[in-house]
Amino acid sequence: MDLSKLNPPQREAVVTLQGPLLVLAGAGSGKTRVITHRIVHLLNERPGHIMARNILAVTFTNKAATEMKERLVHMAGPRAQGVLVCTFHAFGAELLREDIHRLGWPRKFAIADMGDQLAIIRRAMRDHKIDDRSFDARKVLTLISKAKNSGKAPEPKPEGIGDDYDLITHMVYPDYQLALKAQGSVDFDDLLLLPTRLLREFPDLYEKYTRRFRYLLVDEFQDTNIAQLELLKLMAGEQRNVCAVGDDDQCIYSWRGAEVRNILDFDRFFPGGKEVRLEQNYRSVQTVLDAANAVIAKNPERKAKQMWTDRKGGPKVKVVGCPNDEEEARFVAHEIQKHISLGVPADEIAVLYRTNGQAHPVEEMLREKNIAYEVVGGSEFFDRREVKDVIAYFKVIVNKLDEISLMRIVNVPSRGIGDVTMERLNVHARGEGVTLWTVMRKADTYEDLPPGAGAKVLEFVQLIERYRDAYEHGQLAAVTRKLLEEIGFREATRAHATSATSADKKLKSVDGVLNSLENFEKREGPKASLLTYLNRLSLDTRQEEEEVPGGHRRVTLMTVHSSKGLEYRLVFFIGMEEDLMPHGGMQGEPQNLEEERRLCYVGITRAKELLYLTRANTRVKRGKEVPRTPSRFLEDLPPEVVEKVDLDAPRQGPPTTEEKNFFANLKERFKKPGAPGAGPPRGAAG
């Protein structure tokens, strides 16, 4: 590998192979690049001593993992395939797949999704005679998850100051854990906690994993939580070859338990290591960098960072005031069209927003102009009823202990197995102390079931078992097609729909599942199984998209949160208003202004060449048009790098000479082989 493509501190980080290493540096300074180059260096440095399988790289999202892997293979060839690149949760799942039976779970455990979790919590609440209409099960789930992520069981607060939810959570938690285990499932948080337990409680497993993964690398370290740090500390073993990179100014997930102290106190958790600072920003032009620096500088208690770029100048940051949100969307779509016509590839353009709801007007305008786009996350595809039903079939086929899914589909489509039948079978199961499935397998032996019900249950059981065998031989999409046909799923879906268009939509969703299975098979090859598919889904729903027609080059729409680590030549950061950016609490005042400021910094620093910050004077909220105030962050921007555009006096004409020249230059640069941006994958950083 060519180390000359790195600056001196980057090189130092890449070639320091032993002991803890922290790279703490601002956005766009090449932290992710350090990780990929370091992996390639590890592979090259001591061939025969360090194998690909000894390396574990942890990214923040599955998408980032896929892109990093592609980049590694691109740089180091096929041998990089053996490097494990994944999120903490995916790593946990992988580890559990091998060894969870040591804790009494089946190896083919299921990963409970939020629907499953809520169903268990509601059931436990009812068992405790807590009305699940007066108390929100979601809130209980949040509290349970918070406690688990901080490495503790939930506890009620000391008498007098604890609220009802603390108490309920404390009561429900043990039942919740037992119920999960009884149905052979783990929740998302368990993917971190159970591996930690395995490594702590079983010395042989500690040996096995610390020997195998001798080099650990973690990207976006500022957004790790306590449970992840615990797992990392164990995995580091005695060798402690941990390389963590991150930026405390980009800690934006503290609401989900991220602990910025993990990075600030790295030296306390991994003493005696080295710390490297990177100060040159390679991503953004000077104007963008100045804007970003000015916004983040206002945060107290940060590790001050000096960032500079040699990409002096650059077009000014455009701060655009629009009459209303519709005009804002129209402006964005118009500018996007203009830049695409000037030669900017659509996949080098992103629209960022604070909340998912802001995407809709932009989507509409882009559709109107026939511009291909993709919305990252916020997809409700897997929440659709018919999709959930099909997935529930998969879950039961893979894991007969999954009673929540079983109850969901036992009579879908309707096959004459009513509530009374299932209630009685449940009573028998509890009475005999066996699983519901065991009881169902001998349903014909119970005399208290409605006439004919026993036989129907048996038929269902046989159906599931037949398909369990059928799926053993792969061909996931084909087998599913057969299954859906056999149970008359499409006919039933059509019959239940309220209109022809709704029927069409529902059937399209079913096709969507089949598509997603086919893609999965293509990607995974012979390794593809129903179980791995389900795992991927539960780890990845935020990334999994419906197939959007319109080729590969698409404009990206996403929340600022999901834009972490990515970069685009053009960025539209929309909704720069109070109560959106910064996001407001109940009274409209931001609850965590510092984190909102960090978010703003993350958004701005995604732009390589040109940044638009747009806002609306009024916005439709719950059907009413409400006046809006410009974001306080706009006031922090240095006036000399800003160009204010007021759309009440619109300038929607042809591009200015300044813009034309700028992009003409750019086009030249991007033509050259080896220029930044050349080589796969597009839109990825590092």
CB contact burial 518-531 (16+ within 10 A = b; e otherwise): bebbeeeeeebbbb
Binding-site partner at residue 7 among Mg ion, ligand ATP, none, CB < 5 to 8 Å by type: ligand ATP
| One character per residue 560-599, x = contact with ligand ATP (rule: CB under 6 A) | -----x-x--------------------------------
- What's the CA gap between 219 and 565, in Å, rounded? 9
Among 14, 20, 24, 28, binds ligand ATP (CB under 6 A): 28
Distance of closest approach, residue 112 Cβ to ligand ATP, in angstroms: 31
What residues from 319 to 378 belong to the interface with ligand ATP (CB under 6 A)? none
DSSP state letters, 612-656? EEEEEEEEEETTEEEE--B-HHHHTS-GGGEEEEETTS---SSPP
Residue with smaller CB distance to Mg ion, 33 or 316: 33
- What's the CA gap between 271 and 403, in Å, rounded? 47
Among 27, 68, 112, 555, binds ligand ATP (CB under 6 A): 27
Residue 666 DSSP SS3:
helix
What residues from 244 to 283 belong to the interface with ligand ATP (CB under 6 A)? 247, 250, 282-283
Catalytic residue among 31, 330, 569, 632: 31
* Sheet with 274-278: strands ordered across: 84-87, 55-59, 215-218, 242-246, 21-25, 274-278
Contact 352, 580 (CB under 8 A): no
Q: Tell me the binding residues for ATP.
A: 25-32
Q: Which residue has the tokens 């990607």?
A: 523
- What's the CA gap between 624 and 548, in Å, rounded? 32
Binding-site partner at residue 28 among ligand ATP, Mg ion, none, CB < 5 to 8 Å by type: ligand ATP
26 binds Mg ion (CB under 5 A): no
- What's the CA gap between 190 and 181, in Å, rounded? 11
Alpha carbons within 13 angstroms on the beta-carbon side of residue 685 total: 27
Q: Specify burial of residue 601 (Cβ count, 10 A radius: 0-12, 13-18, 19+).
A: buried
Distance of closest approach, residue 6 Cβ to ligand ATP, in angstroms: 5
Catalytic residue among 63, 554, 606, 615: 606
Helix (H) or strand (E) holding 319: strand 317-324
Residue with smaller CB distance to Mg ion, 86 or 647: 86
606 in active site: yes
Distance of closest approach, residue 61 Cβ to Mg ion, in angstroms: 11
Catalytic residue among 99, 113, 116, 220: 220
Residue with smaller CB distance to ligand ATP, 184 or 246: 246
Structure tokens at 441: 């397998």
Q: Tell me the binding residues.
A: 25-32
Catalytic residue among 32, 36, 177, 421: 32
What residues from 526 to 585 belong to the interface with Mg ion (CB under 5 A)? 565
By CB under 6 A, the count of residues binding ligand ATP is 22
Binding-site partner at residue 676 among Mg ion, ligand ATP, none, CB < 5 to 8 Å by type: ligand ATP
- What's the CA gap between 18 and 15, in Å, rounded? 9
- What's the CA gap between 681 and 671, in Å, rounded? 16
Quick one: which segment of 29-37, 136-144, 438-446, 533-541 binds Mg ion (CB under 5 A)? 29-37
Binding-site partner at residue 27 among ligand ATP, Mg ion, none, CB < 5 to 8 Å by type: ligand ATP
Quick one: which segment of 6-14, 234-242, 496-504, 659-667 binds ligand ATP (CB under 6 A)? 6-14
Residue with smaller CB distance to ligand ATP, 5 or 369: 5
Contacts of 54 (CB under 8 A, 6+ apart): 212, 213, 214, 215
32 binds Mg ion (CB under 5 A): yes
Quick one: which segment of 31-39, 48-56, 74-82, 94-102 binds ligand ATP (CB under 6 A)? 31-39
Sign of dihedral through CA atoms 342, 346, 350, 356? Answer: positive
| One character per residue 638-677, x = contact with ligand ATP (rule: CB under 6 A) | --------------------------------------x-
220 in active site: yes
Residue with smaller CB distance to ligand ATP, 31 or 69: 31
Q: Specify burial of residue 285 (Cβ count, 10 A radius: 0-12, 13-18, 19+).
A: buried
Among 21, 22, 24, 31, binds ligand ATP (CB under 6 A): 31
Residue ranges with strand state E in 113-254: 185-186, 215-218, 242-246
Quick one: which segment of 26-34, 261-269, 430-438, 493-501 binds ligand ATP (CB under 6 A)? 26-34
Q: Kind of pairing, strands 555-559 and 373-375? A: parallel
Which backbone phi and psi does 245 adopt, to 5 degrees?
A: -125, 145
Helix (H) or strand (E) holding 349: strand 349-353
Quick one: which segment of 20-28, 347-355, 528-536, 593-601 binds ligand ATP (CB under 6 A)? 20-28
Sign of dihedral through CA atoms 325, 326, 327, 332? Answer: positive
Quick one: which segment of 28-36, 199-207, 340-348, 533-541 binds ligand ATP (CB under 6 A)? 28-36
Contact 630, 615 (CB under 8 A): yes
Binding-site partner at residue 200 among Mg ion, ligand ATP, none, CB < 5 to 8 Å by type: none
Query: What is the chain's length?
Result: 686
Contact 358, 574 (CB under 8 A): yes
Q: Kind of pairing, strands 274-278 and 21-25? A: parallel
Catalytic residue among 219, 230, 248, 594: 219
603 binds ligand ATP (CB under 6 A): no
Binding-site partner at residue 563 among ligand ATP, Mg ion, none, CB < 5 to 8 Å by type: none
Catalytic residue among 117, 250, 480, 559: 250
Pick from 289, 292, 224, 298: which is nearest to 263 by CA? 224
Distance of closest approach, residue 677 Cβ to ligand ATP, in angstroms: 7
Instruction: Please give the positions annotated as active site.
Output: 31-32, 219-220, 250, 606
Interface residues with Mg ion (CB under 5 A)? 31-32, 565
Interface residues with ligand ATP (CB under 6 A)? 5-7, 10, 25, 27-33, 247, 250, 282-283, 565, 567, 605, 676, 685-686
